[in-house]
Amino acid sequence: MRSEREYIAGLYARLDAERARVKREYQASLGANGVGAMERDVEVRALARERKRLDVVDNGLCFGRLDSVSGEHSYIGRIGLFDEENGYEPVLLDWRAPASRPFYVATAVEPENMRRRRQFHTRGRRVLDFTDEVFGRPGGDERGDAALLAAVNAPRGDGMGDIVATIQAEQDEIIRLDHPGVLVIEGGPGTGKTVVALHRVAYLLYTQRERMERHGVLVVGPNPAFLNHISRVLPSLGESDVVFVTPGDLVPGLHVTAEDTPEAARSKGSLKILDVLAAAIADRQRLPEEPLPIELADVTVRIDAATAEWAREEARASGKPHNEARAVFTEIVTYVLTERAIGRIGKGWLTRDDRAAWEDLRSDLLKELAASEQFTAALDQLWPVLTPKSLLGPLLSSRERLRAAGADEVLWREDGEAWTTSDTPLLDELVDLLGPHQPADRSVDLERQAEAEYAAGVMQVMKLDRDEMDEDVMLSPEDLIYAEDLADRFVEHDTRDLVERAAADRDWTYRHVVVDEAQELSEMDWRVLMRRCPNRSFTVVGDLAQRRSAAGARSWGSMLDRYVPGRWVYRPLSVNYRTPAEIMAVAGSVLAEFAPGTKPPESVRACGVAPWSRQVTEDELPAAIEEFVREEAGREGTSVVIGPPGVPGAVPPSETKGLEFDAVLVVEPERILASGPRGAAELYVALTRATQRLGVLHRGPLPTALSGLEERTICITT
């Protein structure tokens, strides 16, 4: 034990020295002179990332050791450390390195040329003890179950922890899978599918850092509570270039304030909505009921239906997005109006042979039209500039417009701009269908370009080869530094880090995307995600049995074959590491009712505490909930009350998806079951959040699927 403590103390000394070195270089790079601003920014960002990586690995820096049959020792940890004085010999292997793989996959049957696996138990920087597993001995287990069970039985903290020290063989195979397309990981509650997906991201960033680092990784989760729950996993593994969003966050700046009915969500999630959006845009490309007069200095011209129809056909035929096609529409209308005006003004004296006079008159008319508020108003009436929100909001709040677009009546709502998560893919689609809503202002760009060219000219003059200059002309270092500073001054640098830049940019593309609770995503949601990752590199996590969205997936192929035919693979997880057998038996009865034939995951442990139920009256319910909260407040770990709307202090099942708690109280399961066609799936989710203790309070008759619960007259402590 003493030698192990000394070795690990030496690792921490190396970590501290490396931190100090990076900090010095970081401070130096901030004030560096004589280098371009862009090069300086690149160096500063790289060092900032390295500082983050080194700052988060204190806890459990080294968690294991491998002893080979030849007598060599390898220490395994969160990051790699090297002995610079001895040819960069590794003193700590990164858990993702190929040489570390036997730590996770070696068994008594297949020891991978290893003799022993040692697991350290630490608190902070201190080694408390360790457990050994010797391979090949009679009766040797396939894995160090003691370490695993200690981890799954430990009280839950505020967020999800990593499993880097207890990754199981089936999980390791998925984490290291070499597949360039879409990987679907499906597993029931407690199988660790989310944490496996996050460790896979860390592995990909380690093995493909150069390809992935510049664009980052996107992680999509069902709600903010879930994202907060998982947000510590990747930083604890030394990875920070990851953007966490919900589906409603995929359009920057959108604030979701409402929730759709299941019928509206189903309609918006279907690809048929694309026809509705196209028709809604076409409906805003109008023809005048009466000719629109445009008064010019010497003549009044009119935009009639025939002219507008010709211009509309040409604009639509251009294939450009709506706002960009407005230029085509305007060009045709302008041509017709100027021809008519010239014909009237020049009648009797102007012929086409008089080319100069003709062009001068046309030029004057074009200037008049460009300055005419009447003409601009007419264009806005016939071919308005639209934004996604200015199109979709009025569409959803107008039964007339919905009918004109061929939309389902269920889409109508009183407040068109009470945005929902299901609106996100529609607004994102409209960004491309409409195009930019403001003409590009090139004046600022041209001014910057001129300044940069001037600065470059200064640099060229001041850096002329001395052989070509007069011998009396001497350049000082200050001259050259001034020239570079002058050039840098005209170059705009974005000082935000990758996560900030990516999250604010709708057009940002990622090298890899993780989608959790993917069974909830609609066909339209997948279109948004595919735009965000053109190379189609995804880790998809879900459980079809837990689907609650009416627009969600009924099979993985129905969502993925359209985009990645033949490029997606499926890997199941069947072992439940979270939910004890006593609780899973109850949840399994609910699963059998709404998803017959679906096998629940097999729990690796029992907790020794029977889940209970208690019938209460409406008056007794608040006190019973308070009693549960009070009892759990005196225990280590986390707890939650889950129930339907209106239950005081309860959160809905949908808000707990992917989360885990030591103790769970499910209130009024009969109302959860009756809440809709997916009520049974909601109840299944609620029951499987507990890792130790489960209680149920019911006012009405206990649902048949929960008949296995032990009925209690009082809440009990264990």
Residue 90 assigned to a binding site: no
Whether 192 has a binding-site annotation, put simply, is yes
The reply, when asked if residue 10 is annotated as ligand binding, is no
The secondary element (H helix, E strand) that includes residue 217 is strand 217-220
CB proximity list for 355: less than 8 A, separation 6 or greater: none
How many C-beta atoms surround the C-beta of residue 206 within 10 A?
18
The CA-atom distances, in angstroms, between 669 and each of 215, 450, 624 are: 45, 69, 15
Give the whole-angstrom CA distance, residue 266 versus residue 551. Answer: 4
Q: What are φ and ψ of residue 414, in 5° steps?
A: -70, -45
Q: How far apart are CA 532 and CA 508, in angstroms?
A: 7
Q: Tell me which residue of 219, 256, 199 sits closest to 499, measured CA to CA.
A: 219
> What whole-number distance in Å separates Cα of residue 669 and Cα of residue 701?
10
* HSE of 466, CA atoms in CB hemisphere, 13 A: 6
Q: How far apart are CA 664 and CA 687, in angstroms?
A: 8
262 in a labelled binding site: no
Residue 538's SS3 state is strand
The residues, ordered by sequence, that sit 6+ positions from 261 with a Cβ below 8 Å of its Cβ are 410
The string over 330-358, giving b where at least 16 C-beta atoms fall within 10 Å of a residue's C-beta and e elsewhere, is bebbbebbbeebbeebeeeeeeeeeeeee
Distance of CA 642 to the CA centre of its chain: 26
CA distance 408 to 400: 11
Say whether 187 counts as a known binding-site residue: yes
Rounded Cα gap, residues 700 and 670, in angstroms: 7
The single-letter code of the amino acid at 518 is A
Helical axes 322-345 vs 305-317, angle rounded to 10°: 140
Cα 675 to Cα 562: distance, rounded to the nearest angstrom:
33
Strands (E), 168-212: 182-187
CA atoms within 13 A on the CB side of 237: 27
How are the residues of the chain apportioned to helix, strand and coil, as percentages rounded to the nearest 5?
45, 15, 40
Please, are residues 689 and 664 in contact by the beta-carbon 8 Å criterion? yes
Q: What's the CA gap between 34 and 27, in Å, rounded?
A: 16
What's the DSSP call for residue 429? Answer: H
Compute the distance between CA of residue 686 and CA of residue 641 in angstroms, rounded to an integer.
9
Adjacent-strand bridge partners of 122: 127
What is the side-by-side order of every strand in the sheet holding 114-123? 81-83, 89-94, 73-77, 62-68, 114-123, 126-134
Return the DSSP state at 512: E
Cα angle, residue 244 at apex, residues 542 and 537 outer, rounded to 5°: 60
Q: How many CB atoms lie within 10 A of CB 682?
A: 25
The C-alpha R_g of the chain, in whole angstroms, comes to 33
Does 144 carry a binding-site annotation? Answer: no
Beta bridge partners of 641: 665
Do residues 606 and 216 make contact, with C-beta atoms less than 8 angstroms apart? no
Token readout for 119 is 């697991």
φ and ψ at residue 12, rounded to 5 degrees: -65, -35
Which residue, among 515, 45, 28, has the nearest Cα to 241 in the 3D structure?
45
The tokens for 180 are: 């360039």
Please report, in range form, the residues annotated as the binding site for ATP.
187-194
Please report, in range form, the residues annotated as the binding site.
187-194
